[in-house]
Structure 1
Amino acid sequence: MSSPHVSAAPSSALDSACRAFSVPQRIQPSSLERSVLAQAQHSTFPYVDGDISVWSLGLGPRVLLVHGWDSRGSHLAAFVEPLLRAGFAVTLFDLPAHGDSGGNLSSPVHAGRALAALAEHLGAIHSVIAHSLGSAASLWAFAHGLKVSASVHLSGPSSLSPMLQLQALGHGLTLEEQGEFSRWVEQHIGIPPAEMDLPALKHGLQHPALIMHDPSDRVVPFAASADLHRHWTGSELIELDGLGHRRILTDPQVIARSCALLSGTHKAGIQP
């Protein structure tokens, strides 16, 4: 696994951009999240980038909840009880270098590979509900063999290249540094960044999907979800108001709409 760029000046903009792309913060669960996790069956999935912590609840078709950057699986805890009431089994997990999972480095590709590996280990997956980075990871996994009956995408980036441009601008990189940053990212993720863009991923978008995003989101531009919707024939795009990037995870209407899509596809007998 590659390590973040360390320049002669450790506080340089390029060094900061590389670290921001590859080294997430570990977030502790809230007391409410801990109470949800305490009701779950905890297991550890051995994985090359670091053992993955997994929590499962309920019986029925399995729904995987996929968290974002600087986050953890329990941040989607508000979805658990409604999904259980709807007759689904629910699995939450911490991506590599996040939460209680092992590893020190991550990326959208690292996350996508971990999601695909865990899904294969668990067996049949009915659907995925994914936030932010988790949505990008899901798109990668769909393009590389993960089959589901439905998925929900919340405030997610849909192509890596524009997000790299935004990150480079946010760190004030010069044109030369932007080129070096792009080359470093390619080395870190092991593929050209363009392979994480929608034209390379859209063949995996074969199932019904619900895309929800607040146009005022300051973390991931709404344009990413609009672009995903344009590439995804079987998707519905809902513009949210006043939820920003993270409040979407606890909004009752967002949760209800997500459960309705998953229940509808299950009742209709839609198969992966």
Structure 2
Amino acid sequence: MLASPVHAAPLQAHDDGHLAAARHAFSAPERVPLSAEERATLAGHAEAPLRHEGHKLTRWTLGSGPRVVLVHGWNSRGAHLLAFARPLVEAGFSVTLFDLPAHGDSTGHAASVVHAGRALRAVVADIGAEVHGVIGHSMGSAAALLAFAHGWQVRRSVHLAGPSSLTPMVKGLAAAHGLGPADAAAFAGWVERFIGTRITYVDLERLQHGLRHPGLIIHDPADRTVPFAASEALHAAWAGSRFEPVHDLGHRRLLADADVIARSIAFIAEGRAS
């Protein structure tokens, strides 16, 4: 079980610069504003903000029919998945997208994949009806894995270039910021205080029991943000998954790729027909 998070002590001025930078990279996302086109598309579809853990989550719902929830990644926002929303609505689904804590128009200043997983569960609980499927990109995919491990069930899910375990993410951040063994250990300890649980409890080995439905995994081997190996491991641990590598799309371009979008919508729709 994942415990509720505790707030880690704020960074002190005397903290080592590299260690402080690693902490900031792990916990402080950048806010991305809505584009004029995104604002126009979402106009008239906003729901009342959802109060969650002292913050407000901004959300929108489009269309009618079986519900599909879209979950964005780090340094992103719900509107970045609008390319999936339009064809889903045309296929007869309703679509809910929202801004994760400290992202987009939602409030908050700090977040993590664990915060994202809890926010997703809160949004789903507030919907109050069965959710047919979920499409998650990057951290949004990992947030869905956490929600599944807590008992959330859907008919289908799509995972786009998502990490599947927290341990390699934490180690990768430590290495990227040049942390030596002592500072890397201090960083890992800080992460556990920040998320309120052991890092290993957010690894695939602890989460895979929630993978009980068919899933589609899409990832580019050349992704420089989330290693392709994360999706390979997820597929190996998930008997009901389908793994479809793509090429020349990197980490974010797949969100606008017509073929990726079509495959994702077709997979979600298969679940409605079965």
What is residue 104 of structure 1 aligned with on the other side? Answer: 109
Deviates more, 1:38-47 or 1:106-115: 38-47
Task: Please give the alpha-carbon distance, in whole angstroms, between the structure 1 residues aligned to 2:257 and 2:92.
Answer: 20
Q: Tell me the number of residue pairs that the alignment of Structure 1 and Structure 2 aligns.
A: 268
For structure 2, the 5+ residue unaligned runs are: 1-5
Could you list the per-position Cα deviations for residues 45-83 of structure 1 after superposition, in whole angstroms to 9, with x for gaps in the alignment? 111151100100111010000000000000001111100
Could you list the per-position Cα deviations for residues 117-164 of structure 1 after superposition, in whole angstroms to 9, with x for gaps in the alignment? 110110221100000010111100000021100000001000000111
Report the TM-score, using the length of structure 1 for normalisation.
Answer: 0.96
Deviates more, 1:150-159 or 1:115-124: 115-124
Match of 1:233 among 233, 239, 245: 239
For structure 1, the 5+ residue unaligned runs are: none
> CA distance change for structure 1 residues 162 and 191 in 2, over 3 Å: closer, same or farther?
same
What is residue 6 of structure 1 aligned with on the other side? Answer: 11
What is residue 43 of structure 1 aligned with on the other side? Answer: 48
**Per the alignment, in what secondary structure is the counterpart of residue 58 of structure 2?**
strand
Task: Please give the alpha-carbon distance, in whole angstroms, between the structure 2 residues aligned to 1:132 and 1:244.
Answer: 12
What is residue 91 of structure 1 aligned with on the other side? Answer: 96
What is residue 113 of structure 1 aligned with on the other side? Answer: 118
What is residue 137 of structure 1 aligned with on the other side? Answer: 143
**Per the alignment, in what secondary structure is the counterpart of residue 26 of structure 2?**
helix
Residue 199 (str. 1) matches residue 205 (str. 2) = yes
Q: CA deviation at 1:36?
A: 1.5
Report if aligned partners of 1:143, 1:204 keep a CA contact under 8 Å in 2: yes
**Per the alignment, in what secondary structure is the counterpart of residue 236 of structure 1?**
strand
Deviates more, 1:212-221 or 1:36-45: 36-45
Match of 1:19 among 15, 24, 28: 24
Q: Which amino acid aligns with 1:162?
A: P
Report if aligned partners of 1:14, 1:177 keep a CA contact under 8 Å in 2: yes
Please show how residues 238-253 of structure 1 align to structure 2 within 5 Å.
238-253=244-259
Task: Please give the alpha-carbon distance, in whole angstroms, between the structure 2 residues aligned to 1:31 and 1:3.
Answer: 37
Match of 2:74 among 61, 69, 77: 69
**Per the alignment, in what secondary structure is the counterpart of residue 238 of structure 1?**
strand
Residue 166 (str. 1) matches residue 178 (str. 2) = no
**Per the alignment, in what secondary structure is the counterpart of residue 103 of structure 2?**
coil
Report the TM-score, using the length of structure 2 for normalisation.
Answer: 0.95
Report if aligned partners of 2:8, 2:190 keep a CA contact under 8 Å in 1: no
Q: CA deviation at 1:5?
A: 4.7
Runs of 4+ in structure 1 displaced over 4 angstroms? none
Task: Please give the alpha-carbon distance, in whole angstroms, between the structure 2 residues aligned to 1:214 and 1:31.
Answer: 29
Could you list the per-position Cα deviations for residues 194-241 of structure 1 after superposition, in whole angstroms to 9, with x for gaps in the alignment? 010001000000000000000000000000000000000000111111
Report if aligned partners of 1:65, 1:73 keep a CA contact under 8 Å in 2: yes
**Per the alignment, in what secondary structure is the counterpart of residue 41 of structure 1?**
coil
Task: Please give the alpha-carbon distance, in whole angstroms, between the structure 2 residues aligned to 1:231 and 1:62.
Answer: 27
Q: Which amino acid aligns with 2:137?
A: H
**Per the alignment, in what secondary structure is the counterpart of residue 17 of structure 1?**
helix
Task: Please give the alpha-carbon distance, in whole angstroms, between the structure 2 residues aligned to 1:38 and 1:4.
Answer: 39
Match of 1:254 among 254, 260, 263: 260
Residue 29 (str. 1) matches residue 34 (str. 2) = yes
Q: Which amino acid aligns with 1:221?
A: P
Task: Please give the alpha-carbon distance, in whole angstroms, between the structure 2 residues aligned to 1:32 and 1:149.
Answer: 31
What is residue 3 of structure 2 aligned with on the other side? Answer: none
Task: Please give the alpha-carbon distance, in whole angstroms, between the structure 1 residues aligned to 2:138 and 2:15.
Answer: 28
**Per the alignment, in what secondary structure is the counterpart of residue 166 of structure 1?**
helix
Q: Which amino acid aligns with 2:159?
A: H
Report if aligned partners of 2:73, 2:137 keep a CA contact under 8 Å in 1: yes
